[in-house]
């Protein structure tokens, strides 16, 4: 496939113009062709006008047609072959094995949502039959189901070019729900974005849906993203990225004459509590898994375990010694782009200026020159220092973490109660620990979206039970997830039909229930 650098606006390609930019290979600094350009306000308007014009076509398409679209997208991604992996590798420096697995996740997500909408229960259909003879007033026939909200704007993430990008969960679940999508491509991997866009457009053509269901706009800066969020036809926004970026979009959306939701996933420090039973039984094994989690993907995950807390003593000392030895052996690795690497070095440099924090381990091997490489860095401190220095409680994106010494359970509970919202928290321990430290569990339940026992938060399972979100500022709304099948609820709303004849109702609300979806009928859950 020859890349063009074009904008893709409802099937129309627009050559790059205005402010131009290139992608760069973060491992070598090499400038990659072709040139890309910032989309204009007029192109944003064209994309959203096109999306609105085809909204009824997409939302009224049968579930089978939309499911076939998702299956076709999966097939078209597969058909891109190694060329897709090679371009993504050149633009992100992510290892080929990692990209191969992530491509499989993106394909799997397409098939997961295809199965979801074919079955239909996700739409939460509810039927309450009329009771015309009820006294003192008759009861009307009322039926409720979820319906799509309209054009959705998606911002692709830098660290998951496939699974949280052009064909990531946000796009796939929006299309599954029946919402046209306009993607703001990530400027760090625009060539990958173009290849995946061509796959989506080919799939739309294959199943006979209009090209206006999907557009891709490029932009190096913030202007085009803000334009898309402000546009009156945009009905919701999906975003994965930094706190600063997500909050900026939330503020723009809230200031519109008609505010819209921004479903922003913005990261966290993901604290890990290693309780006495775990330290006594398996400190070395937990340390090994911990360093593996910290360094996975060069620490470029929103679920990176940035803080570990344990009760001070010989067992925690052994855990720290083991973790430090393992961290020293981790070679520096190339990050997604030079800006992320510079921010990582700056963030860990700030940590080292704090009185009472110690750098106990760093990758022994030197970082390669001009390769945007990050060394693993492990620090230690006390709970008092951690709590009294706000800079230690902010996410630093990369392979770093702080092991923190606590004196008592009360120290841990106080820290947990003082946390801002987090995506995850992790407890390593025994069943006795869970009983003895029950107040800690109760405190964490109020602060996180996912609570993990004897595992680590990196490596998210894509499944119906997954909740990837959390109280603000981990996410903009704690009810919604950006991963798993429940993510579809961000782009739908409930509608009730009262007194409608059977033939005029959506299929899921008809008494025959031809798809056999689970429904609440007169208060009873049944098929």
Residues acting as catalytic residues:
265, 302
Q: Where are the alpha helices (DSSP H) in 256-303?
A: 276-295
Distance between CA atoms of 373 and 236, rounded to whole angstroms?
A: 36
- Which DSSP string do the residues of 105-160 spell out, in sequence order? HHHHHHHHHHHHHHH-GGG--EEE--BTT-SSSPBPPEEEEEEE-S-EEEE--SS-
Going by the DSSP 8-state scheme, the letter that residue 420 receives in this structure is: P
Going by the DSSP 8-state scheme, the letter that residue 337 receives in this structure is: S
Q: What residue ranges in 369-499 does DSSP mark as E strands? A: 373-374, 377-382, 400-406, 422-428, 448-453, 492-498
The closest of 50, 298, 251, 246 to 151, measured between CA atoms, is 50
Going by the DSSP 8-state scheme, the letter that residue 208 receives in this structure is: T
Is 207 in contact with 69 (CB distance < 8 Å)? Answer: yes
The closest of 225, 237, 193, 170 to 488, measured between CA atoms, is 170
Residue with tokens 């001009």: 370
Name the token pair of 107: 């394909």
Question: Beta partners for 401?
Answer: 378
Give the SS3 label for residue 423.
strand
β pairing state of 20-24 and 262-265 = unpaired
Q: Computed over its alpha carbons, how large is the radius of gyration of the chain? A: 25
């Amino acid at each position: 496939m020859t890349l063009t650098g074009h904008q893709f606006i409802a099937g129309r390609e627009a050559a790059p113009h205005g402010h131009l930019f290139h992608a760069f290979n973060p491992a070598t600094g090499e400038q990659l062709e072709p040139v890309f350009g910032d989309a204009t306000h007029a192109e944003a308007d064209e994309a959203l006008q096109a999306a609105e014009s085809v909204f009824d076509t997409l939302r009224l398409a049968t579930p089978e047609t939309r499911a076939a679209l998702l299956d076709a997208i999966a097939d078209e991604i597969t058909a891109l072959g190694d060329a897709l992996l090679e371009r993504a590798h050149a633009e992100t420096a992510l290892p080929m094995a990692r990209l191969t697995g992530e491509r499989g996740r993106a394909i799997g997500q397409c098939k997961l949502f295809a199965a979801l909408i074919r079955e239909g229960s996700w739409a939460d259909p509810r039927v309450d039959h009329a009771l015309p003879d009820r006294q003192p007033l008759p009861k009307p026939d009322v039926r409720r189901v979820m319906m799509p909200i309209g054009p959705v704007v998606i911002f692709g993430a830098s660290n998951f070019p496939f699974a949280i990008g052009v064909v990531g969960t946000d796009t796939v679940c929006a299309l599954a729900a029946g919402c046209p999508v306009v993607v703001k491509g990530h400027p760090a991997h625009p060539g990958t974005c173009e290849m995946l866009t061509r796959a989506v457009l080919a799939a739309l053509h294959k199943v006979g849906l209009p090209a206006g269901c999907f557009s891709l706009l490029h932009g190096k800066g913030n202007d085009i993203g803000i334009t898309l969020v402000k546009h009156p036809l945009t009905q919701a926004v999906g975003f994965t990225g930094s706190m600063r970026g997500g909050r900026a979009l939330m503020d723009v959306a809230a200031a519109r004459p008609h505010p819209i939701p921004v479903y922003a996933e913005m990261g966290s420090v993901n604290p890990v509590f290693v309780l006495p039973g775990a330290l006594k039984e398996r400190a070395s094994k937990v340390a090994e898994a911990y360093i593996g989690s910290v360094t996975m993907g060069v620490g470029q995950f929103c679920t990176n375990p940035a803080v570990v807390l344990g009760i001070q003593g010989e067992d925690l000392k052994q855990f720290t010694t083991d973790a430090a030895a393992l961290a020293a052996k981790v070679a520096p690795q190339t990050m997604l782009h030079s800006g992320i690497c510079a921010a990582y070095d700056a963030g860990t440099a700030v940590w080292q200026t704090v009185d009472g924090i110690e750098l106990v381990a760093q990758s022994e091997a030197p970082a390669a020159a001009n390769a945007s490489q990050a060394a693993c860095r492990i620090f230690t401190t006390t709970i008092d220092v951690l709590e009294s220095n706000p800079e230690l409680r902010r996410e630093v994106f990369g392979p770093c973490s702080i092991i923190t010494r606590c004196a008592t359970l009360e120290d841990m509970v106080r820290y947990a109660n003082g946390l801002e919202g987090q995506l995850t928290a992790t407890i390593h321990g025994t069943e006795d620990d869970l009983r003895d430290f029950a107040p800690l569990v109760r405190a964490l339940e109020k602060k996180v979206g996912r609570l993990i026992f004897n595992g680590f938060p990196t490596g998210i399972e894509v499944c119906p039970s997954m909740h990837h979100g959390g109280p603000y500022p981990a996410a903009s709304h704690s009810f919604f997830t950006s991963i798993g099948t429940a993510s579809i609820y961000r782009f739908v709303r409930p509608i009730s039909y009262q007194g409608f004849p059977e033939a005029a109702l959506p299929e899921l609300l008809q008494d025959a229930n031809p798809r056999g979806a689970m429904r609440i009928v007169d208060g009873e859950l049944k098929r």
